[in-house]
Amino acid sequence: MNFGFILDFEIWILDFMIIGHQKQWGIFKKLAETGKLSHAYLFSGPEKLGKKKLALELLSLLFGKELGEAVHPDFVFIGPTDGEIKISQIRELSWRLSLKNLSAPFKGALIDNAHLMNFQAQTCLLKTLEEPRGKAILILVTQYPQTLLPTIISRCQTIKFYPVAGSEIENYLISKGLSEEKAKEIAEISLGRPGFALDFLLKPEKIEEYRKAVSDVIKIANSDLAIRFQYAKKISENPAGSRFAGEILEIWLWYLRKVLISKIQGREDANFKNFSMSKLKNILQFGQRINFLATTQNINQRLALENLMLEL
């Protein structure tokens, strides 16, 4: 599949990733211009919304040059290693922030997936937040702020990010040359998250994976327990592990929310006509709980999926 506008992908990716977040971006630009930025921010909201991209662009604006995850003497990027962020990483961060800035007007740091900091790492970070040294700005990015110590949250200015209206994503894609039909499809299945929309654009096979996941949940919901357990075994043995299972679960939960909303509005989904609103709500709550645990803790993925199969 060939999209002509992807040729200038680097030119419009920032605009796309901050769709629906123009208000936050405008506020930050104004604060940067007036020098009134806080020393620590917490960007919270579902994944794939553009939180990390906006954080990097804010720091790039302040540094006067484009920053990524690459090495820079005055910038520190931290992400999970082996599924968690360790105290050694936060100690190095604190040390780097204590040094004199070399080429930028201040020090900058970004902690991605901050919810994966273990307890020791969070305790160590708290000391840095309590006693900020020099001119520095620290941005924490997370989809699960509730896993952070309350004292960390209280010392950061929280900026919340929400799913973007499908119409905004659709209109933007059309403005960049995508057909109305394809733009509408991508906007609908992107779950209000520009990052998912980009995945569908750059990896067309992702659309087929989405369709298959929807087909699977319909089939599973109308199958006996043996088939459901076989499916759980197959998913848990996928080489991509929890990431793969998490993507499927996200799609399932999105589709089941649509089924529930349709039922509330008096429109029945033929594939789930025997599912009461109460049962659908229980499935959604249980699925969200599994997704949270799988993302933040080391759980038995197959057992978790089998429990979900019992709920279905």
Low-confidence winner among 20-24, 153-157, 159-163, 257-261 (lowest mean pLDDT) = 20-24
Give the per-residue pLDDT at 155: 94
Structure confidence at residue 6 as a pLDDT band (50, 70, 90) = very low
Reported in sequence order, the residue ranges of 216-305 that DSSP labels E, i.e. its strands, are none
Is residue 173 within 8 Å of residue 183, measured between CB atoms?
yes
CATH code of the domain covering residue 297: 1.20.272
**Whether 150 and 210 share a structural domain:** no
Is residue 150 within 8 Å of residue 42, measured between CB atoms?
no
Segment 286-308, tens digit of pLDDT: 888 888 887 777 777 778 788 88
Is residue 160 within 8 Å of residue 44, measured between CB atoms?
yes
Is residue 144 within 8 Å of residue 292, measured between CB atoms?
yes
Structure confidence at residue 14 as a pLDDT band (50, 70, 90) = low
Among residues 305, 296, 166, 193, the alpha carbon closest in space to that of 249 is found at 305
- What whole-number percentage of the chain has pLDDT above 70? 89
215 within some domain = yes
Structure confidence at residue 78 as a pLDDT band (50, 70, 90) = very high
The residues with which 111 forms a beta bridge, in sequence order, are 78, 140
16 within some domain = no
Q: CA-CA distances (angstroms) from residue 123 to 88, 115, 126, 128?
A: 12, 13, 5, 9
**Whether 146 and 210 share a structural domain:** no
Among residues 38, 50, 115, the alpha carbon closest in space to that of 84 is found at 115
Is residue 251 within 8 Å of residue 210, measured between CB atoms?
yes
168 within some domain = no
Which residues make Cβ contacts (< 8 Å) with residue 21, sequence separation at least 6? Answer: 49, 50, 54, 161, 164
From 160, 192, 221, give the residue that closes a domain. Answer: 160
DSSP code at position 163:
P
Written as one letter, the residue type at 153 is I
Name the residue range of residue 285's domain: 205-311
Average pLDDT score over residue span 17-46:
83
> What does the radius of gyration of the chain's CA atoms come to, in whole angstroms?
21
170 within some domain = no
28: number of Cβ within 10 Å: 20
221 within some domain = yes
- Count how many domains the chain has: 2
State the SS3 of 96-128.
Answer: HHHCCCCCCCCEEEEECCHHHECHHHHHHHHHH
Structural element, H or E, at residue 93: helix 87-98
Among residues 143, 189, 144, 151, the alpha carbon closest in space to that of 170 is found at 189
